Each structure stands twice: as structure tokens, then as C-alpha cells.
Amino acid sequence: MSTVLYVTAHPLNESVSHSLSVGNEFIQAYREANPKDEVIHLDLYKMDIPQIDADVLNGWGLLRSGASFDQLSTESKMKVSRLNELVDQFLEADKIVVANPVWNFLFPPVLKTYIDAICIAGKTFKFSDEGKLIGLASDKKLLHIQASGSVLSEGPFSSFEFSHRYLTAIAAFIGIPSVEVIYIEGVGASANRVPEIKEKALEQALKLAKIF
């Protein structure tokens, strides 16, 4: 049995979100193909995800200097504990599915906050004595489902594609060997083609659900 984290980064629901509508169809098909697997939905807009702020940095600094957890401030204890919960949950999962829109050429800020929460030294990456980066999440698979108003994967706007490119870089950073992607793009610039664009993305999602 595998554990799947379904990470969504859209404040609305699937009736208006192309990334969520395709993501939910993928998850439904995945569940049908893998009935014994556990799927955990992380709606980032409804979660407590501490930002890396002064409380977190001060807490981590004290712990590195040899202080006990009890010596941290109340705020630092709460935030550091929550970050530990999030990264441990990520490490326990076998597969990750991320669904998000593109806003101003990048994903919503809440997804960056989550990425910061799971990129923790000693947990998802480390450096060798020689300074070589070692990703510690090499046992995982990642699927990225991304919707955008313009076509970003190719063509004249490809140089503005920072969202999937960033997620791919993070995956490499923490050791995930490859990233599958489903693009739902051009839904703003080619509104009359939205049904065709969605159909193509759904077809890809249903195929991937059987083999992911």
C-alpha cells in the first residue's frame, strides 16, 4: 500500500479551478486503480503552515547551539513543532500530487510556504563532509498538475514559466528523480478552446492514474 499526498493550492473549488477539476479527476481515477492506497488531501489554504520567520529561525538557532526544546519560546515551540509535523508527513508519503494555478508566472504564495516547510536540512536534504548536496527523498514520485491562462510550456512565453520549473528544481534538490506534469494551459488566452484543452489534460490524467 502506498500513501499519496494530494497537495492543492487554490482558494476556490473545482467548479472554477481548472487545476482542481483535473486534479480531482486524477485522484478519483487513481483511487479506482489503487483501492488499497491512502490518499491524504492537503488543502494548503485551509492549513496551518508556519512561515520561516524570526520565531522559527531563532528556535532552530537555539536547537543547533545545544539548547533543549523546552528552552524555546512558546511561539518558537509551536512553529518548529508544526514544521516538523509537515516534513515528517511528507517523508512518510510515497507519492506527491501537486495541483495549482499560475498567478503572475508563479504558483500561489501558499505553495512556496509549504515547500519551505518540507525543505529541511537533515530531513529532505543534507550536505556531505565534502559539501556535496544529497537529496533524501529519492524514494518518492511527483506529479504536477498546473493550469495557466497563457501557454507557458513552449512558445513565446516559455521564458516566463517559473512555476513548474521551480517545482522541478525543488524535486531535484531533495532527490526526487523525476516529475510528471499535466499542463492545462491557454485557458485565458484561448477561452473558446477551454473544453478542448481540458479534455486533453483529463485524458492524460486518466492515463497517468493507472501507472503513477
| Pairwise CA distance, residues 65 & 34, whole Å | 46
All cell numbers assigned to 9: 493550492
Annotation-wise, does 17 bind a ligand? yes
| Pairwise CA distance, residues 20 & 10, whole Å | 8
Annotation-wise, does 128 bind a ligand? no
Residue 143 · residue 182 · CB < 8 Å: yes
Closest alpha carbon to 120 in 63, 177, 38, 46: 63
Annotation-wise, does 18 bind a ligand? yes
| Pairwise CA distance, residues 93 & 4, whole Å | 6
Binding site members = 17-19
Binding site members for FMN = 17-19
